[in-house]
Chains A and B, each alone.
Chain A
């Protein structure tokens, strides 16, 4: 009765591009210059939007929101491996770049962050769920959607995105298990930004990587340099192709860092040192891609300025459009609760009209 090894596992980390913008050509994904430029412009726009939103929040024109600075490559690179209109995006709340990539109007996002529910309207033909705040709960929705795609015979996949803190939630485990058991066409993307508000990764889990958690659910898991857009896209494309081909789900751990506070209501200096933050400032995914593009002759110094200025202009236009939105009618409170208003809602609408003055 010997002791036998039943299984052995290993976890890979994928890097394609170093900080200076040099790439390993053997690992470089198939992306045209035009595509690379699109990715770069989307990342820069996301950064500019994030920075302008912060200013608007500080001026009291927006409510609390979660910044995405530093994580642009992680979620934009993954979403880029999906097909807009066909595949599904099931986000948490730190995926602004993915929304931008799929064409969500910036003014809609501004409206939502100012507390205007009309901004939550989803554009027709875009398969994206609204921002979901309760941690890890939305992963389960992605399992049901992925199951539906499989059942209907659509070659569509679902991408769901969450942070390292979410991996401690029961719903993470339940969703991973459903994904594995039903072999669902989906991607679990963990943006491991090392911080769940104030709690660092090593206090969140004793596991050396998030990626290895995939093993327990019978699916592949891989860690990728989350600030390396090419590495991120490479693993996401592999995962998407596998899912589409019936190979089931993948857990991708995009190893990155939250350069900002958790939200605009947070102050990371209370729990995080400069020594922790500084090395990651140098790993910023945007200048890294710019260096690659400059080396390849896709971009010069003027081009860097031009892309940034175009982004600033787009954001300025969106802010203008946002500020021109008329105030919402309070009666909207009763819309979209049920398909048809129930009797109690009709009655409560009359109470509201009394407050607004219409019912006097």
Chain B
């Protein structure tokens, strides 16, 4: 089995879905000849031509709005926003139209599109290139929000997102893009949306994360295990909306302790939603208050200071120990 990084796994999913279904198209800024600024769409235009791999003018609202129209007329557009920090002009199209066209037309017109975009910190990028604003998408009715944490999941979840009959925001943790390689089956497969995954079993506490922070949490759990300070379960949320309460909150009910880890500014973040879910569905099983490890309610710092903003292993271990020692 080939060992692929996340960029290669996503590229493979796109290639295979375009091969399988001729209504799948890819569009965005520099996705054609250039293969995308991260090379995620490398080789697509050579294989599928400029009619299906479209270098668009530089206009994010138009890329999404055009995709909505193409979706209504029978296509399955995969629209790339070059960086999540540049996707906000498309926000209007997502919240005002993509998420409600099915409702507004009483089921006549549907919008099976995917909006892919790299997000998150840790690669020393420019302003607007490192933020984690997934909660704004997860908040929109009629839209699914999916975030893979490794190459295997990236391929399977993107395949499912493309096949999904409704709009999906697909956030790609760019810190993971080339950080790891793992075995990814050559044949197409999909991973159902709305299903979280227990990536490390444990009994003493639950770490809840998604995207790049899943790796950090696994490392923290391993370190605690080696230091014999507890066996910590790690849950990869994978789909923020629809949220898999059974798996995520089920783990908290089992261990009685929870630490939620994300790169978001904490106020009204998705960590807040998980806190609410714990309050509603696990509070009587808790042995300690649930805790959060997040960024700050500040703009994501520029490269020199971003490590102070992002969760890391030491901080996660420290916060987890606080819940264990409560």
Q: Which residues of A are interface residues toward B (Cβ below 8 A)?
A: 88, 90, 117-118, 120-122, 129-130, 132, 134, 137-149, 151-152, 158, 170-171, 174-175, 177-178, 181, 335-339, 342-344
- Given contacts A121-B108, A342-B194, A343-B194, are A148 and B69 in contact (CB under 8 A)? yes
- Given contacts A147-B69, A148-B70, are A174 and B61 in contact (CB under 8 A)? yes
Determine if B70 and A144 form an interchain contact, defined as CB atoms under 8 angstroms apart: yes
Determine if B104 and A140 form an interchain contact, defined as CB atoms under 8 angstroms apart: no
1/0 contact trace for B237-278 toward A, CB 8 Å?
Answer: 000011111100000000000000000000000000000000
Chain A proximity of B161: nearest CB distance (Å): 13
- Given contacts A140-B65, A144-B65, A177-B62, are A337 and B72 in contact (CB under 8 A)? no
A276 and B66 alpha carbons, distance in the complex (Å)? 38
| Interchain pairs with CB closer than 8 A, number | 136
- Given contacts A134-B96, A152-B74, A343-B245, are A144 and B69 in contact (CB under 8 A)? yes
B142 CB-CB contact with A under 8 Å: yes
B290 CB-CB contact with A under 8 Å: no
Chain B residue at smallest Cβ distance from A174: B62
A interface, over-half SS: helix
Determine if A137 and B96 form an interchain contact, defined as CB atoms under 8 angstroms apart: yes
Among A129, A144, A170, A177, the most chain B Cβ lie within 10 Å of the Cβ of A144
Could you list some 6 contacts between A and B, CB below 8 A?
A130-B104, A137-B96, A144-B72, A336-B103, A338-B144, A339-B165
Contact partner, B110, options A139, A144, A178, A339, Cβ 8 Å = A339
Determine if A122 and B65 form an interchain contact, defined as CB atoms under 8 angstroms apart: no
Determine if A134 and B92 form an interchain contact, defined as CB atoms under 8 angstroms apart: yes
Residues of B within 8 A of A146 (CB): 69
Determine if B66 and A137 form an interchain contact, defined as CB atoms under 8 angstroms apart: no
Residues of B within 8 A of A152 (CB): 73-74
Determine if B66 and A143 form an interchain contact, defined as CB atoms under 8 angstroms apart: yes
Chain A proximity of B269: nearest CB distance (Å): 18
Chain A residue at smallest Cβ distance from B102: A336
Residues of A within 8 A of B101 (CB): 130
- Given contacts A121-B105, A148-B75, are A337 and B97 in contact (CB under 8 A)? no
Count residues of B near A (Cβ-Cβ below 8 Å). Answer: 46
Residues of A within 8 A of B142 (CB): 337-338
A283 and B165 alpha carbons, distance in the complex (Å)? 49
Chain A proximity of B18: nearest CB distance (Å): 14
Residues of B within 8 A of A174 (CB): 57, 59, 61-62, 65
1/0 contact trace for B126-146 toward A, CB 8 Å?
Answer: 000000000000000110100
Determine if A149 and B73 form an interchain contact, defined as CB atoms under 8 angstroms apart: yes
Chain B proximity of A267: nearest CB distance (Å): 27
Residues of A within 8 A of B97 (CB): 132, 134, 137-138, 141
Contact partner, B106, options A120, A149, A170, Cβ 8 Å = A120
Chain B proximity of A209: nearest CB distance (Å): 24
- Given contacts A140-B61, A144-B73, are A120 and B105 in contact (CB under 8 A)? yes
B67 CB-CB contact with A under 8 Å: yes
Chain A proximity of B265: nearest CB distance (Å): 24
Please provide the chain B residues from 68 to 112 with a CB less than 8 Å away from any CB of chain A in the complex: 68-75, 77, 89, 92-93, 96-97, 101-110
